Amino acid sequence: MSTYFTKDHEWLKVEGDVVTVGITEFAQSQLGDVVFVELPENGKTVDQDDEVAVVESVKAASEVYAPLDGEIVEGNELLVDEPAKVNEDPEGAAWFFKMKLGNAAQLEALMSEADYKAFVETL
Amino acid sequence: MAEAADLLKTPLFDLHVELGAKMVPFAGYDMPVQFPLGVMKEHLFTRESAGLFDVSHMGQAWLVGPDHATTAAALETLVPSNMKELKPGKQRYTVLLNDNGCIIDDLMVSRPLASEDDGRLMLVVNAACKDNDYKIIAAALPENVKLEIVEDRALIAIQGPKAAEVMALHAPEAAEMGFMEARPLEFDGISVIASRSGYTGEDGYEISIPAGAAEAVAKALLADERVESIGLGARDSLRLEAGLCLYGHDIDENTTPVEGNITFCMQKRRKEAGDFPGGERVLKQLAEGTENLRVGLLLEGRAPAREGAEIRVPGTEEIIGRVTSGGYGPTLGAPVAMGYVPSNLAEIGTELELVVRGRALPAKVAEMPFVAQRYYRKPK
């Protein structure tokens, strides 16, 4: 299993051709208390950088983007009932959706954990 | 967006930074949007205990005339509320109107308690409006009434069910005040002017303090475990749940007090006479109703509808109004909003749709406040 990160503060865990996507600890700390999550529909075909999910804090709404081309296979229903999980465990139980990898070549342009840490330091 | 260096600082700026506030530009000031507790916990803490707010960015000013009748008459030319009848030590909410009867700003007016202050009225106006307000007020005053802008005082608010017991430890006479009363107090030996009012729907006080003593007062209140510092984020969600208008969003220069559903600020004598800017139009609206009205909106699901969201009648595509304030109400545990709809659709319970990201969310016109107000009324 390999983990990747995006400049939009999302993480990806790749297992075979299934990619689990969530937002990072840094992203949740910036958002503040999450009160609502909107998940993508299962079976939806998406392109990289499409807005596919929404996360709302008390203050504002933010988009969650598809980090890669592919097909949405599952949304994390836990977040619909317990949006605060995003603050508690953003890089674990509070994953947002799983997608079927459409174009593995796109992974090469993403960041490693070390690169992402360095990127956050610059913000 | 203004650079941090151009932003004004309130007398409590250093304290906010010391307490770990996230600072943002607001109305030209560098203000705390949230403290380490975060918006949600700050909101809930205020409703359970007491929150301390820095509102020093708001404008404080005095109208000074020879006697109350003269000063009140001068202010009445700009606002639709009774000012002549305002008793010493009382405060009143009002609005500055333009010639269309639309709202230039909303403000608090208080009449000092002491007879030697007769002829003085204290104004508290919105930060973003203050320069324009002062220009309009000064231009309308007669020779013998002057506007004195206060630049050397801070303004803080302590709000919540435990605000009064904490205040009483430092200023025992604060306990004797009723809702919408104002008076000078000695707070740990510091001379302040307090009113029992606020912007959260809770009991509490707003306290005007000489700038140099503001940090001492704030620290004395914060030393009590019943009090936490609260940022602008929770101030907004608290006032939204309380159904209170945010100027520039829920009311503005295109809405009258009738459309804004705040006619409680107009008393009988003024409503009969219509002797204020735009009076003819406002009187006509009072008699015949308005095309649109500000209403409260409760959504069925969990998704908040924010400012700007379109309002529709279910099954139709026509945009009949827009949300003017909306978000999540932490105490209610549900999204809340307010917005303008045609008056024939303003009845409580009317089913509407709010369009969020292209999706129509079911909503109903709802009673405001969304969370019951808990102001302190003195026993008769």
For B303, the closest chain A residue by CA position comes to A36
- Work out the average pLDDT over B184-210: 98
Structural Rg of chain B based on CA atoms: 21
Angle, to 10 degrees, between the axis of helix B214-222 and the axis of helix B163-170? 120
Whether residues A61 and B304 touch (CB distance < 8 A) is answered with yes
Measured in angstroms, the CA of A36 and the nearest CA of chain B are apart by 6
**Residues A28/A87, Cβ–Cβ less than 8 Å:** yes
Interface of B with A (CB under 8 A): 33-34, 38-41, 43, 233-234, 237, 302-304, 306, 327-328, 330, 335, 357
Q: Is the bond preceding B369 in cis, omega lying within 30 degrees of 0?
A: yes
Edge to edge, the sheet with strand B59-64 lists B91-97, B103-110, B120-125, B59-64, B146-150
Whether residues B303 and A36 touch (CB distance < 8 A) is answered with yes
pLDDT at B4: 61
* Partner residue facing B303 (CB), from A33, A38, A58: A38
Closest CA to B358 of B316, B306, B309: B309
Quote the mean pLDDT of chain A: 95
Whether residues A59 and B38 touch (CB distance < 8 A) is answered with no
pLDDT over threshold 90, residue B75: yes
pLDDT in tens, A53-95: 999 998 889 999 999 999 999 999 999 999 999 999 999 999 9
Q: How confident is the model at residue B68 (pLDDT cuts 50, 70, 90)?
A: very high
Quote the mean pLDDT of chain B: 97
- Work out the average pLDDT over A16-25: 97
- Work out the average pLDDT over B152-160: 98
Whether residues A54 and B237 touch (CB distance < 8 A) is answered with no
Length of chain B: 380
pLDDT in tens, A90-104: 999 999 999 999 999
Q: How confident is the model at residue B167 (pLDDT cuts 50, 70, 90)?
A: very high
pLDDT over threshold 70, residue A17: yes
pLDDT over threshold 80, residue B286: yes
Taking CA B375 as the corner, what is the angle to CA B21 and CA B48, rounded to the nearest 5 degrees?
Answer: 45
Measured in angstroms, the CA of A94 and the nearest CA of chain B are apart by 18
Whether residues B328 and A32 touch (CB distance < 8 A) is answered with no
pLDDT at B3: 57
Tell me the two tokens of residue B330.
Answer: 């932490």
* Partner residue facing B357 (CB), from A54, A60, A80: A54
**The CA-based dihedral angle spanning residues B41, B213, B110, B378, taken in that order and rounded to the nearest 10 degrees:** 60
Measured in angstroms, the CA of B334 and the nearest CA of chain A are apart by 9
pLDDT over threshold 70, residue B2: no
pLDDT over threshold 50, residue B374: yes
- Enumerate the residues of chain A whose CB falls inside 8 A of the CB of residue B233: 32, 58-59
pLDDT over threshold 80, residue B236: yes
Residues 6+ apart with CB under 8 A from B260: B103, B245, B250, B251, B294
* Partner residue facing A61 (CB), from B33, B233, B306: B306
- Work out the average pLDDT over B33-60: 97
Tell me the two tokens of residue B237.
Answer: 């969600």
pLDDT over threshold 70, residue B1: no
**The CA-based dihedral angle spanning residues A25, A27, A30, A31, taken in that order and rounded to the nearest 10 degrees:** -110
Instruction: List residues bridging with B302 in a β-sheet.
Output: none
